[in-house]
Amino acid sequence: MKLSLQQLDKQLSQGLPSIIWISGDEPLLVLEAADRVRAAARNAGISERQVFHADNQFDWNQLTDANQSMSLFGDREILELRLPGKLNDEGRKTLVAYAESANPDNLLMIVSDRIEAAQSKAKWFGKVTDAGWWVPVWPIERHQLPAWLRQRLQQQGLTIDDDALALLADRVDGNLLAARQEIDKLLLMNEGDNTAISLDTVIQSVADSARFDIFDLSDAFLSGDLARSQRVLSGLAAEGIEAPIVLWVLARELRHLVQLSEAQAQGQILAGVFKRLRIFDKRQGPYQTALRRAPGAHWQRCLIRCGEIDATIKGRREGNPWHKLSVLVSEVAQPGLVPAEF
C-alpha cells in the first residue's frame, strides 16, 4: 500500500505491517519518518533492532536468516535495511521471498533513496510493497519552504514575522537539515516567555559571535558614512558572516528606499509609509538622509544590482561577491562615487 508522509502517523496508530519501505532524497524527512516508525514499534512492544547496510558486498542471507530466526530473548525485532544504491538481482529476489514469508513477529523497515517511476512499476517492487507500506518522501519545494518553516516553529511554540521568515528561508536555501539546526538555535535564543521570532533574532542567530552588527552596516550606508560602511562590511566578512545575509539586509533597505521614494514623489506623508513598513522612529533619520541623497531611480538601479550579486553568490555570474557588495555599499553611501556601469 502506498502512503503519503502525511498519512503515516494515522496508519501507525492503527497497527504495524510486516514491511515499511521509506524512500526519498530529503535526508531530514526520511530520517524523521524512520524515527516515527521506530517509536511506533517501541509502543507496540518491539524492543530489539538489527541494522543491515546493503552495499555491494552485502550477504543477503543475513536478512533471510534474521527473518527465519527468533530473537535471543524471544522478543520482536525491527530489521532495518538501508539501501545506499540500486538493488541487484539477488537483493530483489530476497525481498520478494521475504515478503512472501514474512515473520509476523518482525518489522522490516527499508530506507532508500528515491524510487524512480520505472522501479515503482516493476512486478518485484509491487510484490514487496503489497505486503506492507511504501512511503515515498518528496522534497519540500522552494515555494513551500516558508510555510514548512512556520509550521515547524509553531510546533515548538514559536511565532515568526514575515521578514524574519523570508530571511530564514533564504538562509537555509532548501536544506532542511540546516533548517532544523537554525530552528534549534532560535529555540535556545528564545527561552522563557518570549515566543516571537523577529528579523533581529534571525540575524542574531547567524551572527551571534560577531563583533560587527549587520544593522551597524545598514545605519552607516543609509547615513552616507562611507568609511564606516566599508569598515563594518570588512569586519563582517572577517567574522565569517555569509555574503547572502549581508545582501539580504542591503536589498531590504533598498526596497524600502524605493517604496519611500515612490511615496514621496506621489506627495504622500512619509510618516504613514514608515509605519506601514514598520520602520521605527530611531531608524527613520538614516532613511530620510538617504532619500535626500539620490532620487528613486538611483535606488531602483541599486536594487537591480542586488539581483546580480545574488547570481554571483550562486555561481551564475563571475566575480567576487564581497567585492561587488563593497562597490554597491559605496554607491548607496555616496551616489556617483562609482562609475555608472558598476
Q: Count Cβ atoms within 10 A of the Cβ of residue 153 and give its class: 0-12 exposed, 13-18 middle, 19 or more buried.
A: buried
Kindly give the confidence (pLDDT) of every residue in the chain, 342 residues in length, as a single tens digit, with 9 standing for 90 and above.
999 999 999 999 999 999 999 999 888 899 999 999 999 999 998 888 899 999 888 999 999 988 887 654 556 889 999 998 788 999 999 999 999 998 888 999 999 988 988 889 999 999 999 999 999 999 888 889 999 999 999 988 899 999 899 888 877 767 788 788 888 888 877 766 668 888 888 877 765 444 566 778 888 999 999 988 998 898 888 878 889 889 988 998 999 999 999 999 999 999 999 988 888 887 899 999 999 999 999 999 999 999 999 999 988 899 999 999 999 999 999 987 755 444
Contact 8, 33 (CB under 8 A): yes
Residue-level pLDDT at 213 = 67
Domain edge (last residue) among 91, 116, 137: 137
Q: What is the CATH number of the domain that holds 58?
A: 3.40.50.300
The answer to whether position 338 is within a domain reads no
- Asked if 65 and 172 sit in the same domain, the reply is no
Report how far apart, in Å, the C-alpha atoms of 251 and of each of 40, 53, 122, 202, 256 are. Answer: 47, 47, 50, 16, 9
- Asked if 226 and 329 sit in the same domain, the reply is yes
Contact 328, 305 (CB under 8 A): yes
- Asked if 65 and 123 sit in the same domain, the reply is yes
- Asked if 37 and 117 sit in the same domain, the reply is yes
Domain edge (last residue) among 151, 186, 206: 206
- Asked if 31 and 147 sit in the same domain, the reply is no
Read off φ and ψ for residue 205, nearest 5 degrees: -65, -30
The answer to whether position 80 is within a domain reads yes
Residues of the domain holding 227: 214-333
**Global pTM value:** 0.61
Strands of the sheet containing 19-24, edge to edge, are: 48-53, 77-83, 106-112, 19-24, 132-137
